[in-house]
Structure 1
Amino acid sequence: MKREVQRREPLSFVNPNKALVVEQLDKLLAEWRAWLKVVEDLPDSPEYNPDTCTEVIKDGRDNIRKHDTLREKTLVFLASNFEGYDFLFANWPTPPHEYNLARKREIVPGWIHRLETLQACIEYARVPDGYWKSRGKQLVESMAGTGPEKAAELAATALKGG
């Protein structure tokens, strides 16, 4: 029996400033990696009582809040800069996209994996038409007032991606 491949929405930039988005993604990924180093070695919180608390309380309420903030920051970043990023969450629980009773050292690697996957796919993401129109306008403005040879040289450079 032939398996049907489900078509998915292509990954696209919402923010036309691709360089800035990539820079922000790199910073966010570095923040998650630093957070992993913190949560890997968290001692058990003094407020943890195995008779009354879930295991996540071992991380301490302040660290749980820090994690929640970083998770929400990441979700806002994704929604503000991309469309079609749902594939990053295809095999994960529904929002908040993690099992919130597990220790953070078990959760954080999943977020790092998502961002590394996005980083690997980003070069294939579509850039919005507005970006290309803006680049076209810049090209026309740079060619205005130049001779045909210089204009052709500028156009050739732009077409080559320069």
Structure 2
Amino acid sequence: MPREIRVQTPVAITNPNKAWVSSEVDKLIAEWSEWANFCTMLATEPDSPDYNPQTCSEAIKDGRENLQKHKILREKTLVFLRNHFSGSEFILDGWYDHPYESVTSRLSDRAPYWLHRLEVLKASMGYFQLPDGFWQGQGKKFLEALSDATAEGAIDVAKSWLRNPTN
């Protein structure tokens, strides 16, 4: 049977405020990093009283309350991705559908994957397509900088913006 060819959608930031989106990704990375550290510590502590080896999966060793906290952070992350990116599914590659993780494994195994996914997203953001609203805002900043410059300075401003229009 031939291998299925998947067409990748271009990855784009759908929110014209790229700086805000980037700072929110940084906040999520920090939150996931802190959570991953906490989950690593959980794995070294005694099992939760919620855990019954006869009736529960290994995940319950971390406690139902911590599983709920993890679920909230995961859903918050997924909502953010859906609302501010298109084509970002590449960071969920390997999972067929929601919740994009094994819900029976320990949190210490799951949290680092989410952190890594967000780090991949952040590292790739410089190459994402940007919406027209972003470029309109950049054009406005360019014109304001140009109008404030002298005739000689206008050339330097234009040269600077042409080299890096996303500054």
Aligned counterparts of 1:145 and 1:50: Cα–Cα separation in 2: 71
Indicate the percent of aligned positions where both proteins have the same amino acid. Answer: 44
Secondary structure of the residue that 2:30 maps to in structure 1? helix
Aligned counterparts of 1:6 and 1:122: Cα–Cα separation in 2: 22
Aligned counterpart, 1:126? 129
Aligned counterparts of 2:4 and 2:52: Cα–Cα separation in 1: 49
The Cα shift of 1:139 comes to 2.2
Aligned counterpart, 1:76? 79
Aligned counterpart, 1:41? 41
Q: Contact 1:11/1:84 (CA < 8 Å) preserved in 2? A: yes
The Cα shift of 1:141 comes to 3.6
1:107 aligns with 2:126: no
Aligned counterpart, 1:28? 28
Cα distance change on mapping 1:47 and 1:145 into 2, 3 Å:
closer
Aligned counterpart, 1:87? 90
Corresponding residue to 1:55 among 45, 54, 58? 58
Aligned counterparts of 1:65 and 1:154: Cα–Cα separation in 2: 52
The Cα shift of 1:121 comes to 1.1
Cα distance change on mapping 1:47 and 1:7 into 2, 3 Å:
closer
TM-score normalized by structure 1? Answer: 0.86
Aligned counterparts of 1:150 and 1:12: Cα–Cα separation in 2: 34
Cα distance change on mapping 1:153 and 1:94 into 2, 3 Å:
same
The range that moved more, 121-130 or 63-72, is 121-130
Corresponding residue to 2:120 among 98, 117, 121? 117
Aligned counterparts of 2:149 and 2:33: Cα–Cα separation in 1: 50
